[in-house]
Structure 1
Amino acid sequence: MSLEIRSPAESDVPDWIRALNVGFHRSPSVAEGETAMRRPMLDLERTQGAFDEGRCVATFRSLPQELTLPGGGLLTASAITNVSVTATHRRRGLAGRMMATDLAAAKERGEAVSILVAAEYPIYGRYGFGPATWVTGWEIDIPRAALDRRYAGPDDGGRVDIATAAEVRKASPALFDRVRLRTPGTIKRSPLWWERTTGQTVFPSDGPWTEPFFAFYRGADGRIDGLASWEISESHWQDKLPTVEAKVQQLIGATPAAERALWRFLLSLDWVNRLTSGLRAPDDVLPLLLGDPRAAHTETHADFMWLRVLDTPVALSARGYGGGPAALVLDVQDPAGFAGGRFLLETDATGAARCTPTPAAPDLTLSVSDLACLYLGDESPVRLAALGRITEHRAEAARTADTLFRTPRRPWCIDVF
C-alpha cells in the first residue's frame, strides 16, 4: 500500500486544503487566494495528512486552546479539528492512526486534555473521548409567547444600541473574555474569529458575506455588557400580514441583566413572528423569559464538544468542585494508556483539589470516556452508575462524586472550532 501519513510540506498545503474540502462536501477546487489566507492557521507540526501516491486523501490538525473549567480555572487543551477521510479511502484506519499520533504528541507537550466537536456521535468514543457539553436550539413562536408587545427597552437603567461591525471588532473581544471566564466549557476566540464574523476577512470558500445586525447592551454605568447579532432569514407579506424570521447568530452577556435585555429586545423586533435561537446551553434562560414557555419549540438538542483526558492528575487538580471537603478514589480505565490508573481526588472547603496516584482501594471504577462526560460538570455520576457505566465499590460513592463534579449551570462550548 502506498499510503503515507505525515505532516504536509509547504508544497502540499493546497492539496491538503483540497482534500479537506472534499471530505467536508465543499467544492473540491481551492479558490484563488484560499491557500494564502488559510496557511497562517496551520501549524504544520500539528497538521497531518494521509497521502496516496502523493495525493492527500485524509486530513487532521490540532491547535492549542484555553478551556474554561468549573471554578473559573483555565487549562491548555489540544483542540482537534479538520478531521476528514476521502470516501475512496475509508476503513483503512487513517483517522485512527492520525488520532493516536496527535494524542501522544499532546500528552508529550503537557496538554492534559484534548477537545473536538464531533460531526458524528459513534466515532470518537473509541479513542477515549466522551461528550462533555451539549447544546439546545429553540424556535420561538413569538405571537404565542405571551409577551408584552408594548416593551420599550430595559427598565434596569441600561440600554440597547445598534452597533457597527467596526465597533464590534473593537469592543467585543474584551466582552467575550468576561463571558468565557464565567462559562465552563468555553474556549478563546482568536482575532481572526472576529474578523470573519464582522466581514473584515472573508475566505473564498465561505461564499458571499452578508452583514448581520449587531446590538450592544450597555449597563447603567455605560459599560458594554452584552452583544447580539442576527439576520433576517425569511421575510414576506401576505394579505398585509408579515411572516418574518430572525435568526440569532450569537448572544452573549457578561451579566444576567444583559442577557435578559438582549433576548427581550430580539423578541420585540417589529414584524418578526418567529425567532431561532442558534445553539445555546441546554439550560439557557430563554424559554423561561417567555410568558408561555411552550412557545419555545426545541429544534436541536445534541452533544457538542467532546473531551479526552490525557493526564488525570493534572486535569482533575485544575478544576473546582462543590460539596466541601471530600476524598474519592477513582480507578480510571484507559486502554490507550494515557490517563489510566488509580487516583485519589481530595477537595477542600474552597473547592480546590489535589489529585494524586494511589494504591488505595477504589471507590468508583469508570472508563476514561465517562470521566470526560463528568469533567466539566455536565453528566451525573449517579446516572452513569444506574446505566452500569460506573461501578461503585463503596456505598454512596456515586452520590459523593455527583456532589463534587456537578455544577450549578451546565457547561457550554459557545463556538465550533
Structure 2
Amino acid sequence: MPIVSVIIPSYNAADYIAQTLESVLAQTLPDIEVIVVDDGSTDTTREVVAKFANNDSRVALIEQTNQFAGVARNNGMSKARGKYLYFLDADDYIENTALEELVNAIEQHGADIAIAKSEGFDNTTGDTWTIEGALNGMDFYRPVAHADYCDKLFQSFIGWPWDKLFRKEFIDKTALTFQPLRTTNDALFVFCALALADTIVCLDSVLFHHRTNNKNSLEGSRAKSWNNALCAIRAIGDMLGESTHGKACLNSYYRWILNYSLWTIESLPSAEADAYLTEIEPVIHAIPQNAEPNLDPYENKLRELLDLNRAKVISCSITALKERDKALCDREKFERALEAERLQYDTWRVEADQKLAAVYKSHSYKLGNALLAPLSKIKDIARR
C-alpha cells in the first residue's frame, strides 16, 4: 500500500502538467501513487500524462467527461489506496521534500491534517511572493488541538486543499467529499475537514508553488459562477451546525462570510455583485447579532446597509470607512511624529541653555572675561 495518494484533477493543462508530475515523482518519499483524473480535456493533457504512466508505474490516468475539479477529486479519492491523501492542481508544483515533511509531521504529532506554507508565482512575469492568509497566528511543529484554533479557523487557513495533507482514515470517517461545482468546489471539504479534526500540525516551510495568471484556469473567471460560492457557504454552515466541533467554529465562519462578501461585491462586475448581494442577504441577516462581539466596524456596516440592496453602494461605503480609518491613522501618526520632534527640540534647547549657563559660571569664562576687560577699555578710548 502506498503511503500517499496524490490526486491531480486536470483540464487542458498540457502546458504545465509535465512540470507538476515531475515535481511529484521526484519526491524524497518514493512510496506514493499518483492519480491524474482528466476532466474532459480538449488539448493534449491525456497524452502527456499517458507518457508518464507508461514510464512510471506509480502514475495512473483516469478519464471523465467535463464535470469540474470537485467531481474529479472525488473520483480520484475513490481509487486512492494510500494512508494519506494529497490533492494537487495540475498547473502547480511542489518541493521535492514536501510529502515526506508532511507525513513526518502528521505521524510525529498524531494529527489528522498537516498544513505548510505556499508561494505564488505569476505565469507571465515569473514574479513570486509568499501567499498571505494561510497559517495566520498558528504555532509551528507542534500538535494544535481543535480548541486552540476553532475560533480563528476561517481567518487562519485558506479553503484550498493543495497546501494540506489529510489522513485518509479521518476523511473516510467524516465522509467528506468535494462539491460538484464549477468554482469554489473545495471550500466545503477543506474547511469542514479542519472543523472536524481533533488535531492539526503546521509547518513553517514553503513547500508548494501556486501558479496564477493562467489563462486556462477557472480561478480567474468567478463571475461566470459567482453563485457557486453561495452553495459552498450554505453547505459549510449546515455541516458546522451538525456537530460540537463544528459549532465551536461558527463565530469564525460568520466573520468569514462577512469578509468574503465584502471582497466579492468589490471584485465582481456590478450585475453579478448585486445578484450575489440579493442571495447572501438572508444568510447574513441570519447571523446572530451577538455572535461575534469583536467584529470590525466596517463588517457590522455591511449588515446595516444590506437593506439598500445595492452592492456598489455598500462597496463605496465600505471603502469610505476604510479610507476614513486610514486617514485617522495617518493623522495620528503625523501628530505623534510632530509631537516627538517638538519634544526633541525642547530637549535640545534645555540642554543648550544648561550648557551655556555652565559656561557663564565656569572659572575659565570668568578669567577670560576679566582678561578681555582692559582691551575693551582701550578700544573705547581709541574710538574717542
Measured against the shorter chain, the TM-score band is: under 0.3
Work out which structure has the larger RCO, using CA pairs closer than 8 Å and 6 or more positions apart in sequence: 1
- Relative to its length, the structure with more strand (as a share) is 1
- Relative to its length, the structure with more helix (as a share) is 2
Could you state the TM-score of these two structures normalised by the residue count of structure 1?
0.23
Could you state the TM-score of these two structures normalised by the residue count of structure 2?
0.24
- Higher-Rg member (1/2): 2
